[in-house]
A = this chain, B = another copy of it.
Amino acid sequence: MQLQPACTASNFTAAPRQAAPEAGACGQRIADALKLIATLLEPQRRVVHAGDVIYRAGEPFSRLHILNSGLFKLLSLSADGREQVVGLRLRGDWLGFSAIAGGVYACDAIAMDTGEVWTVPYDALLRACSRHPELTAIVHEAMSHEIVRDRDSLIALCTLPADARVVAFLQFWADSLARRGLRTDQISLRLTRAEIGNYLGLTLETVSRVLSKLARARLIAFNEKNRRDICIPDFHALGAFVQRREAGVGLH
């Protein structure tokens, strides 16, 4: 059984790329998966608001969550008490996979906006999967996708300098929106500088400086009176900016 190629969303890499050329297709794909989940699993549906906790690290695991809408962050609490944003999740993503191995949730999942969460007991999911192979395919694909995405962000964080990380973040963000059929030229970050920096392994000052630099270079533009909404006039130029800098570093 060969799976058809998914919209693997090679998000969060340095390669310059047009924003989601397969936008519609992938949005459809997500919609189809959600519809199948809705009909086969009849998940419990819940509307959440900014700040609502889906689960916390350490809680016993018994249910998985599928996001129908909204924006969510995954927070990992290190031993010394600092929080680290380890992922952002949107419509079509699953929450809770990381808890299967340990029996307890491995991080906090928190809504950053109004959204709808579907919840299914894990054992019910397993039973449904044994009856419906197409559901198994969707679950495995979602887990696999999460592995690929995490790996991509790992590479970005390991190898890219600060400004390239911020650019990669902007590309990732626009990609995620485009793939769900939303407009990408005018985007709202919905994260503070501190949260972006935390996610990217940078300080908030560095994020602010990079954004200012990009704005001075006309690669992005801030909305009037609101520096969280930004506009990306030319996607290709944004990626090329990073490429140029990397080439410069290589020179003597």
Contacts and interface: CB of A to CB of B under 8 A. Distances in A.
Interface of A: 1-6, 8, 13-15, 60-62, 76, 78-80, 82, 84, 86-87, 97-104, 106-107, 122-123, 126, 129-130, 133, 136-137, 140-148, 150-151, 153-155, 157-159, 200-201, 243, 246
B143 A104 contact: no
Nearest to A140: B100
B130 A78 contact: no
Contact of A151 (B61, B122, B141, B150): B150
Contacts of A133: 126, 130
Contacts of A201: 157-159
A5 B102 contact: yes
A246 B78 CA distance: 13
Given A79-B14, A246-B80, A102 B158 contact: no
Contacts of A84: 155, 158-159
A76 B78 CA distance: 27
A76 B6 contact: no
B61 A148 contact: no
Given A14-B78, A154-B154, A97 B159 contact: no
Contact of A1 (B4, B13, B123): B123
A150 B147 CA distance: 8
Q: Which of A4, A84, A151 has the most CB of B within 10 A?
A: A151
Contacts of A15: 78-79
A154 B148 contact: no
B151 A86 contact: yes
Given A61-B3, A154-B154, A145 B101 contact: yes
Given A150-B154, A157-B201, A103 B5 contact: yes
A8 B154 contact: no
